[in-house]
Amino acid sequence: MLTEKKTRLGIISALAEEQEGLIHAMTDAVRHTHGMRDYTAGKLWNMDTVAVLSRIGKVAAAMTAVTLVEKFGVTHIVFTGVAGSADRAVQVGDVVIAESLVQHDMDASPLFPRFEVPLTGLSHLPSDLELGSRLAHAATTFLEGENGATLHRGLIGSGDQFIHDGVRLAALKSALPGLLAVEMEGAAVAQVCFELGIPFAVIRTISDNANESAATDFMHFVKTVASRYAFGIIERFCRQA
Ligand code: SAH
């Protein structure tokens, strides 16, 4: 699929650190500014790509995903970034690839079940299996060089909140069995891609434990590790396609 001639991959991250180095690695890069974001189109290891920073939160991510598809003609989207852990087995420095995503702050009950995105009939938005497997392969190869980091696949929750509170996290975990990580954009991209019929995947490196020390851990982690992981995994992903 990814080797088809017309494939054009959109690469979204929220923060600059999550995408550091990718723009420099691009050949034939052309930057377009639109709606307060820079979209850089070019070739990454021979793959036709458009890289962009979405800014933070669900609306920001949705706006960016729609623009990538409608204005820049991407055929696939990968979101790469960091997230808080929502499971004891998922440790800082591990990587999580979403099998499905939920908007954990969506609640139109009693009109619709809690978490269901109204009028889609879905609370758990599935990511593309093939893209997910390709990313998993790239991540596994990359992580072989990283001491003890583990790859997990499962449920990621997104909401317009930086979770830094053990009680709040515990409540989310009990409402959403199997929740592996929390972040602020993935499930918004998932909804856009579901509605537009665009295959997508979300990959997150764990930066913190979504508890009281999350803010400090997060700041330290994004600066030291996040960009190296994102670059290493995306490079392998583009090369193998
Ligand atoms: N301090 C940062 C803001 C970071 S918001 C700044 O000023 O730029 C946190 C970002 O990392 C979001 O994009 C979110 O997707 C992800 N994230 C990491 N840990 C998170 C957590 N515990 N809860 C929610 N989002 C988290």
The pLDDT value recorded for residue 186 is 98
Residue 133's SS3 state is helix
The structural domains of the chain, ordered by start, are 9-240 (3.40.50.1580)
The pLDDT value recorded for residue 241 is 73
- Atom 25 of ligand 1, nearest CA residue: 183
Whole-model pTM? 0.96
Dump pLDDT digits (tens) for 86-110.
999 999 999 999 999 999 999 999 9
Report how far ligand 1's centroid is from the alpha carbon of 1 (Å): 32
Report how far ligand 1's centroid is from the alpha carbon of 19 (Å): 14
With CA atoms as reference, report the closest residue to 174 among 159, 157, 152.
157
Residue 45's SS3 state is coil
- pLDDT tier for residue 226 given thresholds of 50, 70 and 90: confident
Percent of the chain whose predicted confidence (pLDDT) is above 70:
98
Query: DSSP character for 117?
Result: B
The pLDDT value recorded for residue 20 is 87
**Is the model's pLDDT at 148 over the cut of 70?**
yes
Indicate which residue of 17, 99, 116, 208 is catalytic. Answer: 208
User: Mean pLDDT across the chain, nearest whole number?
Assistant: 95
Identify which of 54, 56, 58, 168 to mutate to test ligand 1's pocket (most ligand atoms within 8 A of the CB). 56
Q: At what angle do helices 58-70 and 186-196 cross, to 10 degrees?
A: 40
Compute φ and ψ for 100, nearest 5 degrees: -150, 165
The pLDDT value recorded for residue 4 is 52
